[in-house]
Amino acid sequence: MEERISVNNVSKGFGEGEARVDVLDGVDVRVGRHNFVSLLGPSGCGKSTLFNIISGLMEPTEGEALVDGSDDRLGTCGYMQQKDLLMPWKKIVDNVALGLMVKGTPRSEARRQADDILERFGLGGFGHRYASEISGGMRQRAALARTFLAGDDVLLLDEPFGALDSLTRLQMQSWLLDVWQESAASILFITHDVDEAIRLSDRVYVLSERPARVVLTLEIDLPRPRPYEMVMTREFAEYKAQAIRYLHPDEPALIDEEVIPDA
Amino acid sequence: MPEWLKKTLPPLIFGLALILGWELLTIITDADPRIYPAPSEVLSALFSNLSEVFRNAKITTLEMVLGFIFGATIGISLGIILAYSRIFRSAVYPWLIVSQTIPIPAIAAVLVIWFGFSIVPKVLVVVMIAFFPIAVSTVDGLKAVDPEMVQLMRTFGASKARIFREVRIPVALPYIFTGAKVAAAFSVLGAVFGEWVGAKGGLGYLLLLKNRAVNTDEVFAIILALSILGVGFFGLIVLIERLTIPWYHKARQLEGVQ
């Protein structure tokens, strides 16, 4: 099976009758092996609902969501929500090892792997601290480490850098790209930052306002590695122009029409 | 000045000032020492009756500790059932509150009719006082969990039992300890009430005896012993709390709460 995540024509509504709210409207999303794919859309458009469905926390009203071709999804993805959700009663190493331990890895082996990934994530020596004793950026990296270990190489990252200041955010993007390159992970990444989506991804799905539909699929054909300065190249700007055009359809267009392909 | 001294010095000075003021007042007013004993006389009464006080304190301590352990067990179990069963909660919770409006000495008197002068009525009174704050705080604690943390555990494929053990219990523990501290402070009260309606030993029993004999200095000496017992028991629970949930105190210190 080549696709690690495939979301086929998924719709989701909450409530019944008059009170029904449609959140997702026939969404198709695909993430291949070792791909980095982003969902770019306005806040509150239903991106997190899609993640809840892919991770198996929810079932779609219509359509199907498959991870490695299977409908039985709980326990298959590493899902990182916006909050770091580190448990204050566990030391960092035990937080990071938690997913593995729940899945049956013996404690000592799970801890060994957790120490290993903490070292790689620049958190070596912090494993025995409590979450309250480390900084926000470190907490985020620890949460990401936990997600990598728990995720069996399928990772759902819901605006992991949303709460960070823009400088830290850029550093974290570079860092995430490095970590991803060295791993076998397939990543689906939620953001509402256009630059972030294009810089990180192989493919960007641009979503509409609620109920969310995919209004544009951008295959990002930029070389890797991608240093931050790449955002100033012409190719990057063209991708950005297309994304913005579909994100803000009511804004007057400044860019030459021929840049934008048919939807 | 070291941190611990900064914390302990103000209450120490205040306490000593109060005692000194009281001592001076008895001297200035030339009060009858049998009715209004000075702190120095209370202390000497305590030391001259030390073995008697100690013997009775052991009885009261046993009643308190047994009552607290049973009360905490019942309180935590009840709290778990209340938090998880909606039907049980709606049927039982109002009656639980009603039960707290019943004057404890009234019940204690009946318990003596049923169980005689044995240790049982005293322990039961302590149980009745101790279980309630623990049950209420257990319910609050079990409901305080962040739903997203439960979701996180579910994405790992965790069972409900696992989520209960690894998330709900740790979240609830600080709440449960708050209830336990209240219960510990009140369990002295329970033991004394239990002894007042019928006993052959214990500090409450001894207190009644000395009161009837109008040995006021000895009455105060026993009150002093009772409060040492209460503070000691409270302190023990605080110590257990610190050992059980060290992460909670670290986080609070960093936030500057303490």
**Domain coverage including residue B56:** 47-254
| B25, part of any domain | no
Task: Reduce the DSSP state of residue A214 to 3 states and report it.
Answer: strand
Residues of chain B where predicted confidence (pLDDT) is lower than 50 = 258
CB-nearest to A132 from B158, B167, B250 is B250
Would an 8 Å CB–CB cutoff place B162 in contact with chain A? yes
| B135, part of any domain | yes
| B29, part of any domain | no
Task: Determine which of A67-71, A235-239, B51-55 has the lowest per-residue pLDDT on average.
Answer: A67-71
Spatial distance between the Cα atoms of B218 and A6, rounded to a whole number of angstroms:
82
| B184, part of any domain | yes
B residues 205-244 lying closer than 8 A (beta carbon) to A? none
| B100, part of any domain | yes
Q: Is the model's pLDDT at A256 over the cut of 60?
A: no
A93 or B254, higher pLDDT: A93
Write down the mean pLDDT value for chain A.
89
| B28, part of any domain | no
Q: Which CATH number does the domain housing residue B221 bear?
A: 1.10.3720.10
CB-nearest to A130 from B155, B166, B247 is B247
CA distance B88 to chain A (A): 28
Give the confidence band of A1 by pLDDT, cuts at 50, 70, 90: very low
Listed in sequence order, the residues at least 6 apart from A19 whose beta carbon sits closer than 8 Å to its beta carbon are: none
**Residue A205 is encoded by which pair of tokens?**
């799905």
Spatial distance between the Cα atoms of A121 and B233, rounded to a whole number of angstroms:
46
| Best mutation target, A48, A49, A132, to test chain B (most B CBs within 10 A) | A132
In this prediction, residue B258 carries a pLDDT of 42
What is the tally of structural domains in chain B?
A: 1
ipTM: 0.84
Are the beta carbons of B247 and A98 separated by less than 8 Å? no
| B38, part of any domain | no
Spatial distance between the Cα atoms of B257 and B90, rounded to a whole number of angstroms:
35
Give the confidence band of A121 by pLDDT, cuts at 50, 70, 90: confident
Domain ranges of chain A: 78-150
| B26, part of any domain | no
Q: What is the pLDDT of residues A204-213, one digit of tens each?
A: 999 998 889 9
Q: Is the model's pLDDT at A249 over the cut of 90?
A: no
| Best mutation target, B155, B159, B163, B165, to test chain A (most A CBs within 10 A) | B155
Task: Reduce the DSSP state of residue B27 to 3 states and report it.
Answer: helix
In this prediction, residue A166 carries a pLDDT of 86
pLDDT (average), residues A104-117: 93
Task: Reduce the DSSP state of residue B190 to 3 states and report it.
Answer: helix
The b-or-e profile of A74-111 (16+ CB within 10 A means b, else e) is ebbbbbbbebbbbbbbbbbbbbbbbbbbbeebeeeebb
pLDDT (average), residues A59-76: 90
Task: Determine which of A85-89, A220-224, B98-102 has the lowest per-residue pLDDT on average.
Answer: B98-102
* Cα–Cα distances in angstroms (integers) from residue B108 to residues B119, B120, B134, B192, B193, in the given order: 12, 10, 21, 11, 7
